[in-house]
Each structure stands twice: as C-alpha cells, then as structure tokens.
Amino acid sequence: MTIRNYIVIHHTAAEEKNARQVKQYHLSKGWKDVGYNYIIEKEGVVVPGRSLEIPGAHTKAGGMNYKSIGIALIGNFELRRPTEQQLHSLLDLTAKLQRTYDIPKENVLLHRAVPGANTLCPGKFFPAKELSLQLIEPTKLWRVQLGAFTTKTGAADYATRLRHIGIDAFVIEK
C-alpha cells in the first residue's frame, strides 16, 4: 500500500483549456498517465488524475512522487493569480485529503518549498500566505472496538447488554 503523507501544490505554468489538455500533453511526452493526482480547472472543477496506486510524476525532489499527493492548478501564476474558484476548490480538496490521509498542515507544501526542488512553481502570484492561514489541522478520531459478530442479532444482543450497564453502544455494519 502506498502511504501519502504530503500534499504538493503546483501550477501547470500554462493556460490549458481543461484537465484533458494537461493529460494529453503528459501522454504526448510518453508518460503512462497525467503526472498529477488532481487537477483544478480555472472554473474550480476538480478532476482526478493519476491513481495513487502508482508513483506520481510531479515532484522528483525529496522522493515526493512516492509520498505525496500532487495537485495542480491550471494557469501560469508567474503572470496572474489563480481564480477565486480555484483557490476555493483547492482548500476544500486539501482539507478532504488531509482528513482522509491524516496529513498535518506542515506537510502541505508548495512545489518550490520541497527541499531540493529548484523551481518557482506554483508561481509568484500564488497566494501562499492566504493558503497557509486557511489550512486545517486534521482531527483524529479514536474508536473503541468491543466485538464483531457474524450475525446482526448477535451484535444487537451484545449492544443491548452494554446499554444495560450504561455503555452507549450501537450496531454498525462493516
């Protein structure tokens, strides 16, 4: 299983029409899929890219292709700011991924902040400060497992017995 404990943020440094065009460009270079794991189009649409089952192709530095999730926003942010919709989607997606993969906020990096990366990516107009102020810290949930049953009635009986002694138990299917 691949463990992704970082998020790396990029711009595509071009003004592609959509995620499809980014993918076509990467395929034309002989890659097996688009290099990024997610692409955010100018209108804020989030398009899933390369599967997390295989290494990414977006950040060689620090071995990040193996341990991060690469998100690219379409545009050249050396020349302009990302759109508000893009930033909004980026925050949403980042928070969701942080919760799913338990990624602390200090591991959400701009490409240029990855040690060893020699790039301006995601560009000087990318609002780095704004983003860092709005990042979340994922909350961990700790659960207590009490029992697992092959029949629902077995589980229900057990839950009832626990409730009788004042333990708030309920049945979930998994």
By CB under 5 A, name the binding residues for Zn ion: 10, 111, 121
Closest CB to Zn ion among 113 and 169? 113
**How far is Cα 61 from Cα 64, in angstroms, rounded to an integer?**
6
Closest CB to Zn ion among 118 and 150? 118
Closest CB to Zn ion among 64 and 155? 64
Q: Name the amino acid, one letter, at 66.
A: Y
Q: Please say whether the beta carbons of 74 and 36 come within 8 A.
A: no
- Dihedral pair phi/psi, residue 129, rounded to 5°: -65, -50
Judging by DSSP bridges, how do beta strands 38-40 and 46-48 pair with one another?
Answer: antiparallel
Closest CB to Zn ion among 50 and 111? 111
Which tokens is 48 given? 């899933």
Q: How far is the CB of 94 from Zn ion (least distance, A)?
A: 15
Q: How far is the CB of 113 from Zn ion (least distance, A)?
A: 11
Q: How far is the CB of 72 from Zn ion (least distance, A)?
A: 7
How far, CA to CA in Å, does 153 sit from each of 32, 98, 157, 171? 49, 37, 6, 10
Q: How far is the CB of 96 from Zn ion (least distance, A)?
A: 21
